[in-house]
Every structure is written in structure tokens, then in C-alpha cells.
Structure 1
């Protein structure tokens, strides 16, 4: 749920290089003479410089053009991607194995910590928490920029359920955002479409449809068999529709209603057996 140490150190090396350049350009902390002195400052002293990055993102281009620290192309590319920052308020909703879930503006992000994992900063029993921070792309992942303001508020069950549902909806629809690098987003989306178009369950569904046609109740069988067989067929029909036309919500809803009617018939039959 956090960057490995080497990557976290690289992140801060690049961030302090950029911020020291901006500090020099704008003459903010005039007593600071080099990057090492700047890096040693407390975070609160760097706050004004930090804000200038997001108020004037063109300063990133200026840094890249002059490249005062003689960075290689890969490192310059990382800094250039920071122009795709997202600044705002976010709920940290839960922790997963690979990232923390941030919810903001109806979007769901998978975010990594830097030197410390989020669950070390905020124990999971404190979640959700409401924070103000800036999300940045970093080598294909999303991190925050090292500063985070925590709002001292508590949440009732309604907000917790709403946040959970926002996460579940994003998860179900493959919409958890795990990178802010636009070229990578396109590649990931294309890969998902290709998998979707393969219809890898076609043979299995066809076999189930064929087998289910043989399921018939009556003829002295237990009364429960007929409604259960109907439920099986309705469930297979729903799976078939979900496989071949997952975007047709109306059709899926109709098939689901058939399943629900079949379930009620099973329940009624069981009630009569009491």
C-alpha cells in the first residue's frame, strides 16, 4: 500500500528539486541557497512553495526546459506528468492490498503511500476519514504529494454506506482509477475491452443452456423440483444476457425479474411443505 523505499526517495528527490527551483525563481525563501538546505526544511516552511506548483503549473514546464539538476529523460517525464495533478478533498474509504481507496467528486482512486503506508498513519478503525491533499501520477501509479490535512469530522451510517456503495459501483464497473497518466489509461481501457470481447465463458454458458433444457419437473417428482429447475433456467438466461450484452440494462433487469419470480415460487413451495 506504499512505494518501496527507493521509489519513495526518488519521488522526494524530484519533488525537492522542483520546489527548490520554484523557490529560487519566485524568491520566496530567500535565505535558502541550495537544494539540500531546502530539503531539510520542515514541511510547514515549504507550504508556500508547494502551492505555487499547482497555482502556476507552467513552472513545471520552465523547470523541465532549463533542467538545472541535469535529470535524465525518465525523471523529467515523471515531473512533467505532475501537471495532471488532482487537488481537492477526499474520503479515505478503505484499505486494500495494493492501495488505499480515495473517494472524491464521485471518482474512486487507488492511492499509494510514500514512505509510510496509510494504515500506519490512520488505523483502519478510524475510516472513513476526510482529507485535503493533492494526488499525483508517479511511474504509472497514484501517490499524494506528501502533505495531507485531516478534517476532524465523524460520519454516520448513511455516509459510510454511501461511500461504500460508491466504491462497490466503481469496482463492479472497472472504474477504480489507478493512474493519472493519460496514455496508460487508454492502454488499460483497451486491454479491458479486448478481454470483454473474447467472451471467454461462451462454451460454458452454451453447455449449461443445453443441459438445463433437460430439467423438467412433474411425473411424481418432489414438488420442489419444478420451481427449482425454473430458477436454474432463469439464472442461466440472466448469465447468458450478462455475457453477450452487458450494457443492455433494461434487458438484464427483465431477466433478473424472472429470476426473482422463480425464487418466490421456490419460497412458496417450501412454505407449503412446512
Structure 2
């Protein structure tokens, strides 16, 4: 089974679909969207695309009130456990996302509005592989509803795929937002989404310094932080040294110098030496590369 095929267990999937169907029948009873639907059995006779107007009504009206009214009235005579699960859907999220990654059990949906957030999403109806191949990622999607279900996040089976091909600077921007979202919130795997973790100045500075793209994007934030304390200034120089070490390692290997010792301050080499067999030079004093 490919990563894109990962779904809820068969039992959980059926439970979700049953509960969601009862909620949609209730919405139809309230708004008379599809005349011939009065029961779940009636609803199941329709194709998914035929039910889209009904599903959209759920999210275009006062969604929270509809869910709460359904739970209070319990027209389907659901158990307390099932009612509790439906009540949790008041923590739903709808909108546009970018599908940026597949993982072993889910896909990562990026909401790149401010602040950006990433959600680990499981399919409850249609496997992601039926929608797009992993090689097509990132993929922009719209009309998405994310719902908490059994301590996971699922989408309800309806999804709009936008005909946009990401490339160049836009693709880079998506990667930037993805990294920032992970830094600020982690990958969110349950709803409601947690509050942003408070980061120390040192953690923020290391994130800003982690790669060239970040150093350019957060240049003003870096300058502000490094001036706050001697410790942050030390971290700044340490991270700059690491960055220069990575690029210098590639340069040395291209010159055929597979082993060398250099001392770096920021992006400047202040001393260097070839490795001599039996040398007692220590890693504390030098940065070392081995091809």
C-alpha cells in the first residue's frame, strides 16, 4: 500500500461516514436542499457530487449552531459516544490549503494564511492517491473541511483541486511557510489546534539562521536578536560558522581536499591546515571535513 492510500481503519471510516450522513440528512431537513432525501438510505442513493450542494449548505450556514442543534435534538437516536464525537465537529476548519507532503499515515495540508499552520490529515472517503500522484505535490486545494475524529484529523471526502502549477519563487515561498509553520506550531494532528508554542530567543535565532533562505528572509529579526545579549551574539557566530562550514566542505572536496582542518569566524577562514596522519589536532579547535 502506498503512502497516499493510507486511510482510517475500515471500522472508523464507516463510523465517520454514518455520523456525517446523519448530520447531512438533518441539514437537508432544515433547508430542503435535495427534495428526495429524507433518510440516510435516501442519501446513500446519490453520488458524491450530487450531494455537494447539501454538504456546502452545512458550511455556508451557521455551522456551529447546526451541529449543536443536531446534538441537542438527536434525531437519529445516536449513542452518547457518537453524540460526543459529532459535537467535537464544532472545532472544524474550512478553507483553502496546499497539500505539501505525504507521510506514512497521512498527508500534510498547509494553511499559509498568517500565521501559517500545517495539519496531518487522513482521508475518510477517497484515498489521496485517487486524486493526485505524490510527484504532483505541492497541490493547491479548496473547499476543504477538516474535522476532528477519534483523535485524528480527517477531511470529509469533498475537495476542490485548483489548476495551478507551483514553480520557482512560489514553490520556494510554500517551502518557507511550511518550515515556519512547523517551527511555530509543529504539525497539528488534532483539533482544536493548539496555541503557538512560546519560543526562547535562542530557539528563534537558530531557526532564523538554519539556512541561507531563512537568513535572508529574517535578516532584520536576526540583527535585532543578536544585539540583545552576549549569549545570542555567540549563537549568531556559531550558526554562521556552521553555515560556512557546510559550503566550505563542498568547496574543499571539489578541490580534492577530502580532509582538512580550518578555523572559521562567521564566514571567514582565519586559519587552515591539511590533516597529517598522527596529528593531535582536536575537533574543539578546528572544523573537520572528511570526504
Q: Same fold (TM over 0.5)?
A: yes
The equivalent position to 1:252 in structure 2, one of 224, 231, 235, is 235
Aligned residue for 2:20, secondary structure, equals: helix
Determine the structure 2 residue equivalent to 1:21.
Answer: 26
Structure with a larger share of its residues in strand: 2
Aligned length: 215
The equivalent position to 1:148 in structure 2, one of 142, 151, 159, is 159
Residues 105-158 of structure 1 show CA distances to partners (whole Å, capped at 9, x for unaligned) of 221111111244323431111111111111111111111111001011111132
Contact kept in structure 2, 1:64 and 1:76, CA below 8 Å: yes
Contact kept in structure 2, 1:95 and 1:119, CA below 8 Å: no
Displacement after TM superposition at 1:263 (Å): 7.8
Contact kept in structure 2, 1:140 and 1:181, CA below 8 Å: no
Contact kept in structure 1, 2:125 and 2:157, CA below 8 Å: no
Structure with a larger share of its residues in helix: 1
Aligned residue for 1:269, secondary structure, equals: strand
Distance 1:179 1:262, change over 3 A: same
TM-score (norm. length: structure 1): 0.68
The equivalent position to 2:110 in structure 1, one of 103, 107, 119, is 103
Displacement after TM superposition at 1:31 (Å): 2.1
Displacement after TM superposition at 1:38 (Å): 1.1
Matches within 5 A, 1:185-224: 185=194
Question: Does 2:70 correspond to 1:63?
Answer: yes
Contact kept in structure 2, 1:108 and 1:170, CA below 8 Å: yes
Aligned residue for 2:146, secondary structure, equals: strand
Determine the structure 2 residue equivalent to 1:123.
Answer: 133
Cα distance in 1, alignment partners of residues 43 and 175 from structure 2 = 41
Residues 12-67 of structure 1 show CA distances to partners (whole Å, capped at 9, x for unaligned) of 10111000011112222222232111122112222222122222221111111111
Distance 1:255 1:268, change over 3 A: closer
Determine the structure 2 residue equivalent to 1:112.
Answer: 122
Determine the structure 2 residue equivalent to 1:166.
Answer: 177
The equivalent position to 1:78 in structure 2, one of 64, 79, 85, is 85
Displacement after TM superposition at 1:76 (Å): 0.9
| Runs of 4 or more consecutive aligned structure 1 residues displaced over 6 Å after TM superposition | none
Distance 1:112 1:250, change over 3 A: farther
TM-score (norm. length: structure 2): 0.65
Determine the structure 1 residue equivalent to 2:99.
Answer: 92
Distance 1:170 1:6, change over 3 A: same
Displacement after TM superposition at 1:169 (Å): 3.4
Cα distance in 2, alignment partners of residues 150 and 47 from structure 1 = 15
Residues 160-207 of structure 1 show CA distances to partners (whole Å, capped at 9, x for unaligned) of 22222322333345521111136xx48xx7xxxxxxxxxxxxxxxxxx
Which ranges of structure 2 fall in alignment gaps of 5 or more residues? 1-5, 198-230, 245-263, 277-291
Aligned residue for 1:122, secondary structure, equals: coil
Distance 1:40 1:251, change over 3 A: farther
Cα distance in 1, alignment partners of residues 126 and 270 from structure 2 = 52
Which ranges of structure 1 fall in alignment gaps of 5 or more residues? 190-247
Aligned residue for 2:33, secondary structure, equals: coil
